[in-house]
Amino acid sequence: MRLRFKPEGLRLALAASALTVFPGTAHAGAWLQPKGKGLLILSGTMLSSGSAFDDGGGSFDVPRYNKFELGGWLEYGLTDHFTAILQPQFRSVSIAGPTDASHSDLGYTGIGARIGLWSNETSVISFQSLLRIPGSSDENDPAEAGSTQVEEDIRLLYGRSFRLGAWPAFLDTEFAYRFRGGGAPDEIRSDVAFGVRPRPDLMLMAQSFSTFSQGNARGFYDVGWEWKAAASVVWDFTPEWSVQVGGIATLAGENTLRERGGFVALWKRF
């Protein structure tokens, strides 16, 4: 989400930027689940910010903003070419004075599917659509702003597996358009994930999340962009269970919070 951040006289309805529970950090990306198989991820993310990027990309101080998200990502193969998706979320936001606002409630619940378009032994192209239903309703509450309108996220995904020397590796790229309601502008998104396995039970992953506002903005919203990067380690402690630990930060942007934080996720394959 892009809010109207101005160093002089901020309208501090500081809602979070657009990422939610970092679905890109832990889901299967472009690949589909085989028929009758599934993946469940439970994740917790803590983000904090005391500064923001203005409309020229410069940084300035804002009241302390904290956000905690507890989310799930469930996908299940109804057929080999159709994977159903459910993404529930709980979020808690607090903003320090002089704004002095806080809110804890259900966040967005995503319902959708991923459809296979083409694949071979190493690569896959798929299409995904996710309807995002808000759990908040008061757009005038600074701690709820930006999370009260129904959204639709459609994306084209491409994944490729290969070897980096002796190590198995993968690249996942996703290009999306998110339709947003209220005064918030729509968004174009580009998410990229690279993973490598130096040993069979351990994966190292680096990710990039880019968001660009499109169209008009009303109220306290403004057009802008942001680039987040994440790094994490995934350990498969059994064939069915994995744990992921990582960090994420906003590296650049305009009219967006400069966030830093970490996340942990538990994966279950079934």
Q: What is the pLDDT of residues 162-189, one digit of tens each?
A: 999 999 999 999 999 999 988 889 999 9
In a domain, 184, yes or no: yes
Question: Looking at residue 71, what is its pLDDT?
Answer: 96
Mean pLDDT over 181-198 rounds to 93
Gyration radius from the chain CA atoms: 18
Q: What is the pLDDT of residues 125-136, one digit of tens each?
A: 999 999 999 987
The gap between the terminal CA atoms of the chain, to the nearest Å, is: 34
Q: What is the pLDDT of residues 230-258, one digit of tens each?
A: 999 999 999 999 999 999 999 999 999 99
29: tokens are 């990306």
In a domain, 159, yes or no: yes
Q: Which residues contact 71 (CB under 8 A, 6 or more apart)?
A: 20, 21, 42, 43, 44, 45, 87, 88, 89, 90, 107
Number of domains into which the chain is organized: 1
Q: Is 15 left (phi over 0), alpha (psi -120 to 50) or beta?
A: beta
Q: Contact, 213 vs 185, CB < 8 A?
A: yes
Question: Looking at residue 101, what is its pLDDT?
Answer: 86
User: Domain range holding 146?
Assistant: 23-269
190: tokens are 């580009």
In a domain, 141, yes or no: yes
Question: Looking at residue 217, what is its pLDDT?
Answer: 78
In a domain, 167, yes or no: yes
Question: Looking at residue 232, what is its pLDDT?
Answer: 97
For every residue of 31-58, which 3-state class applies, written as one string?
CCCCECCEEEEEEEEEEEEEEEECCCCC
More confident residue, 222 or 197: 197
In the predicted model, is pLDDT for residue 117 greater than 60? yes
Q: Taking Cα atoms as reference points, which of 85, 87, 80 lies closest to residue 33?
A: 80
Per-residue pLDDT band for 15 (boundaries 50, 70, 90) equals very low
In the predicted model, is pLDDT for residue 99 greater than 70? yes
Q: What global pTM score does this model have?
A: 0.89
In the predicted model, is pLDDT for residue 27 greater than 80? no
In a domain, 18, yes or no: no
CATH number of the domain that 195 lies in? 2.40.128.130
In the predicted model, is pLDDT for residue 220 greater than 70? no
Q: Contact, 145 vs 15, CB < 8 A?
A: yes
Q: Which residues contact 79 (CB under 8 A, 6 or more apart)?
A: 35
In a domain, 153, yes or no: yes
Mean pLDDT over 47-66 rounds to 94
72-to-143, 163, 222 alpha-carbon distances in Å: 22, 30, 30
Length of the chain, please? 270
In a domain, 7, yes or no: no
Range with the poorest average pLDDT among 7-11, 114-118, 233-237: 7-11
In a domain, 12, yes or no: no
